[in-house]
Structure 1
Amino acid sequence: MPMIVVASVDAIRNFYVDTLGFSHVMGMVGKDGQLDFCTVVMGEARIMFMRAPGGTAAPSGKQPVEIYLEVEDVDALHKNLTKKRVAISDPLTLQWWGDRTFKVLDPNGYEVWFYTHVAEPKPPQGAKLV
C-alpha cells in the first residue's frame, strides 16, 4: 500500500471519498483535531495518506510519483466520475500493455491512474517484452 505525504489529510480524504468514491477504512485524529493519517480503499486498492513529518508542508505542484490502481470496471468508474464532473486528465485509453486506463489529478498534484486489464500486451513495433 502506498503511503503518500500530503499537507492536509482531511482535505485529501474528502476528495478520495466524496469525489472519487473510495471508502474510508481507518484514520487517526491528532491533538489539533485534524487527521494525522487515514487509509482509503476502492476494491482491493488501498492508499494511506499522512501528514508531512514535523508539520512541514508537502511540496506543491505535480508530484514525481503516479498512483496506478486496478479497479473492477474502469469504464463504469469513468462514467460515474464524468457524471460527477470530475476533471479527467487523460481519457479512457487501451494501453499497449493491455490495460484500459484513465487518469485524474488529485488536489495534491498526484496523477491517479485507474485501470482494468482487458487484453494481452502488444508492444509497439520494434519493441520486445522481456
Structure 2
Amino acid sequence: MGSENEALDDGPFYHGTKADLRVGDLLTAGFRSNYRPEIVMNHIYFTALRDGAGLAAELAAGDGEPRVYLVEPTGPFENDPNVTDKKFPGNPTRSYRSSEPLRVVGEIRDWTRLAPEALQEWRDRISAMRDSRAEIIN
C-alpha cells in the first residue's frame, strides 16, 4: 500500500443523493454536509461500494427519493480522511473525496435498501455525532 492518501480503487464509483440527476451532470463541492449541516463541504464524496452509496442516499438531506449514481471523477481524488485510518484501519468503506467534480454516467437501481429499523439506527448515530460535535475533516 502507498501513502495514506493514495486511493486504493480504480472504480467503478458511486454517489448517493436525493437529487434527481441526468447523465452528464456534474456533482460539485460547496454544499452543506449531510452530517453537520452548518458546515459547507470543500469536497464531493463518493465510494466504490454501491450499497455504501445507497446508505448515503438514504441519509442525505432533502425530501427526494434516494438515488445512487454511477460517477467518474474529473480530477484527482483521495481516501476520505473522515473514515480512513481515523475510524477504520485502511479504507474498508472504500470512501473517497475530490475537490473536482464528479460526472454522472448512469443511475443504479439495484442497490440494497435498508429496513426502516436499520435506517433509524443510522439516523440516531448521525444525531449523536451532531450532538457530540464530532470533527469533520473538511
TM range, smaller chain: under 0.3
Q: Which has the higher contact order (CA 8 A, sep 6+)?
A: 2
Q: Decide which structure has greater strand share.
A: 1
Structure-2-length-normalised TM-score: 0.24
- TM-score using structure 1 length: 0.25
Larger Rg: 1
